[in-house]
Chains A and B, each alone.
Chain A
Amino acid sequence: MNDLTPNSLRAWPDARGRFGEFGGRYVAETLMPLILELEQAYRTARADPQFRAELDFYLKDYVGRPSPLWHAKRLGEHLGGAKIYFKREELNHTGAHKINNCIGQILLAKRMGKTRIIAETGAGQHGVATATVCALFGLPCTVYMGAVDVERQKPNVFRMKLLGAEVVPVSSGAATLKDAMNDALRDWVANVHDTFYIIGTAAGPHPYPELVRDFQCVIGNEAREQLMQAEGRLPDVAIASVGGGSNAIGLFHTFLDEASVRLIGVEAAGKGMHTHEHAASLNMGRPGVLHGNRTYLLQDDDGQILEAHSISAGLDYPGIGPEHSWLHDIKRVEYVGITDDEALEAFQLCSKLEGIIPALECAHAIAHIMKIAPKMGKDQIILLNLSGRGDKDIFTVAKHLGTTI
């Protein structure tokens, strides 16, 4: 399955870091030499069996991989249709898929001799994962987080501080993920000599979309093997939520050349795609350039970036990783929208039927499964990337359900 044919959809990006017209390296000159250095370091590391061995060691004994594949029978029976499998990334150390990428990038940072780590975070999952690996490797860590997100994700802010990270609230712009990323980039420009920027999603200037994807591909690779053992075949549908898109591309990538596998990415439709309050960059945006890459963006007629909205802080971003933009344009992946309300309903249903409290991000994908599973045959299989646990979201959910904790 690793042999790439010339027409393989898995062979991208090209030498310019592009997926079709998307991706690239749109950064200020100060950063450009660093990005080229990072690309070189990544190519060398990837070809080095010792790097692979080190990565595998941490993924197994620290993260707890492989994560299980769970047959969600009660949810399947309730919906009355396809068999549903959960790839349980929420069981990873720190409770989400984000750590897969953080382990990979901090090993790269160490190889490059960098002594300080910075990161951006929205919901705080990537911030916690970054703070965690920094504690493990004894490197100082600064996490940029929108002031609004600091307020609505207090438990994760406390976790990061407990792990020894400095959390910098960002109050520029709408004070959410996009602005946190701006300030992380500004920090990087000012501290290029010693600092490594661990980007949390498969976006940003090349080589980030590629390397984050590669570090997250372990999700799909494991799930594929586990499903082959359980069912002896590939899934009919593989589905994941998309904000920046790292958990989705991690699941999809192994299936890109398998025409029989329908791939579905679920965007946050917020209060509805007909409103201005959503985060559906692919469905409602158009191509542009932000944070170092060409991709679909929510923007106004003058090319000014719009604020996104989602009940899930992790999906609250007006852009998306460039590989998704390309997969959208070539129609290999379907991208659909799920509203806040639909996600809240799925959040509760999954908790009650499977005893698994999913992250609000994943609840979006579950909500779409609720729509398609009943229309599918009992012999058909849906594979979901359950990319994070929902403990961080209980305050948000309680508030929306009118309960005080």
Chain B
Amino acid sequence: MSRIAGVFARLRREGRGALIPFVEAYDPDRETSLTLLRGMAANGADIIEIGMPFTDPMADGPTIQAAGRRGLLAGATLKGVLGLVHEFRREDRHTPLVLMGYLNPIDSYGVEAFCEDAAKAGVDGLIIVDLPPEEADLVLPHANANALDVIRLVAPTTSDERLKQVLAGSSGFVYYVSITGITGTRTASAADLARDIPRIRAATDLPIAVGFGVRTPEQAATVVAHADAAIVASVLIETLCKENAEAVLRDVRALAEGVKAVHKAA
């Protein structure tokens, strides 16, 4: 069983949802990212998502755009990100790590080499924003060969018919982009989730994580009441900018409390 599947199986037995906080690699430097990864794992993160900086992040709002720019200024490269993962893995063998980014840097690295190196470094899954199912054959064989989960995005615009195609070949969990929009802007309501999640549930047995616009412990709790995991990104980056890494970990603790307060049927 993959590390990601293992975490969701355990949480199901415990009757709770997962918290997936986000770290933009090298924002504002490598040391801070490593501190955040370790600290998040120790403060209630069940899985951690790591953003790979790209010059043209077309699905991201101003907060993650700026974080990516700071990361690139600090010298982030894919090799550097994998090095960060490798270092984290020396001390933590159980917290799943998912890389999120855009295709071009991976394509430039070489898809096959990247999947091999990512698996070796200790990466568990990949989210490639601009790789829809129509183009996924570029990555799937290499990800599968290296036991990396390919996590698919599902959007409010994804029809029931299309869901089948989107979910074919996906593993780990499903990432539900809960709003039509970019990261860190609007927030889906409880009513939206109550309407949307069962639709996806009907099409897959995979756990469903909800991202885009999840900011507070209350919102994270609402998310896991309907889905299986809450992904929180932009608000943590804002806290890092305004305060520091300590404050981010404080917020992660609060978010984890929010998530844990919701008891789900096992």
Contacts and interface: CB of A to CB of B under 8 A. Distances in A.
A29 B132 contact: yes
Contacts of A291: 56, 58
Interface in B120-140: 129-135
A303 B158 contact: no
A16 interface: yes
Contacts of A25: 132, 134-135
B56 A178 contact: yes
Nearest to B175: A29
A26 B135 contact: yes
Interface in A166-210: 172-173, 178-179, 182, 185-186, 189-193
Interface string B38-61: 000000000000000011111101
Contact of B56 (A33, A34, A173, A302): A173
A30 B59 CA distance: 9
A29 B155 contact: yes
Interface in B163-203: 166, 177, 180-182, 185-186
A305 B129 contact: no
B164 to A, nearest CB: 13
Contacts, number: 117
A288 interface: yes
Contacts of B158: 29, 32-33
A273 to B, nearest CB: 21
Nearest to A28: B59
B106 A26 contact: no
Contacts of A179: 56
A182 B56 contact: yes
Interface in A255-280: none
Contact of A189 (B59, B62, B79, B159): B59
A289 B134 contact: no
Contact of B132 (A27, A173, A192): A27
B162 interface: yes
Nearest to A186: B182
B107 A289 contact: yes
Determine the main DSSP class of A at the interface with B: mixed
Contacts of B133: 32
B177 A289 contact: no
Given A190-B182, A288-B104, A289-B104, A29 B177 contact: yes
B240 to A, nearest CB: 19
A138 to B, nearest CB: 25
A249 B11 CA distance: 56
A103 B103 CA distance: 33
Contact of B78 (A34, A189, A302): A302
Given A29-B155, A29-B158, A189-B59, A304 B130 contact: no
Contacts of A303: 78, 104-109
A162 B75 CA distance: 44
Q: Which 8 A-B pairs have the closest CB atoms?
A: A303-B108, A303-B105, A30-B155, A190-B181, A29-B153, A305-B55, A32-B132, A302-B77
Interface of A: 16, 24-34, 172-173, 178-179, 182, 185-186, 189-193, 288-292, 297, 299, 301-305
Given A34-B157, A173-B56, A289-B104, 5 more contacts: A24-B135, A30-B153, A33-B159, A172-B62, A299-B108
11 contacts: A26-B132, A27-B130, A29-B177, A30-B180, A32-B134, A182-B56, A192-B180, A193-B180, A301-B108, A303-B105, A304-B54
